[in-house]
Amino acid sequence: MTLAFSSQTQSAIEFAAALFRGAKRAVVLTGAGLSTPSGIPDFRSEGKGLWSRDEPMEVASLGTFRTAPERFFQWFRPLASQIFNAYPNPAHLALAELEAAGRLQAVITQNIDVLHQKAGSKRVIEMHGTMRTLSCTQCFRQVESAPYLKPFAEQGVIPHCPFCGALLKPDVILFGEQLPQKAWYEAQREARQCDLMMVVGSSLEVLPVAGLPIQALDRGAHLIILNNTPTYLNVRADVTIGEDAASILPAIAEKTLHG
């Protein structure tokens, strides 16, 4: 089914596709808005975002996890359930298609939901950690999250290490934790080497990741922004589209790959 877009949106889609076709090294930076069509809430939407209901430092900080882990897990359980039950949406699939066709070098993501990988993306740089694995707080061994995620999501069974019995922590970055160094270096390298960066579903409000497009722009890269609300970099973007990524990204991929 072909969606009907306004003439302005159609022009923006065609311009974005032309930039992809002309790029030698394109990268995409994705945020929570990419996964909301998959049923995973974002953090900052008025009335619906996670931080409209909870104070992040009280529930999602490293300090809370260490001193009151039951409070963290109580807050985390609905989100874990949504992630466990989520499937990639057409936007995730479009990015995987662009990568498979050689039009996209890497996805830098602020998301922890692993939906890029489930969609088929191979080069995914996870800036805020991942729900794929859990790490023991005592012996530091890492385990796959899948056997623990379902009983936790469905019955509230808090995960414990199969080796030493200590608490397992999801390998997501909480407030008060440093970004994963390897991912941060990789993301900066991609930002500095790309000639096209596309921002999808990110309000560009969380530093230091929000500064990556500046690094790309400062080295002459083109910038596309696809986000429901304006960002601080809209004025510097070649193309801005304020619509749903799940409908726009497939159209851009289709136009890029098939004209």
Alpha-carbon distance 244 to 94, whole Å?
A: 13
Is there a cis peptide before residue 208, judged by omega within 30 degrees of 0?
yes
pTM beyond 0.75: yes
| Residues annotated as catalytic (active site), given as ranges | 128
Q: What is the pLDDT of residues 163-203, one digit of tens each?
A: 999 999 999 999 889 999 999 999 999 999 999 999 999 99
User: In Å, how far are 72, 97, 98, 100, 106 from 121, measured between CA atoms?
Assistant: 30, 8, 9, 8, 8
Q: Which domains does the chain have, with CATH numbers?
A: 1-40+88-128+179-259 (3.40.50.1220), 44-85+131-172 (3.30.1600.10)
Give the model's pLDDT for residue 111: 96
- 7-43: b (≥16 Cβ within 10 Å) or e: eebeebbbbbbebbeebeebbbbbbbbbbbbbebbbb
Bridge partners of 143, per DSSP, are 134
The per-residue pLDDT for range 79-106, each reduced to its tens digit, is 899 998 899 999 999 999 999 999 999 9
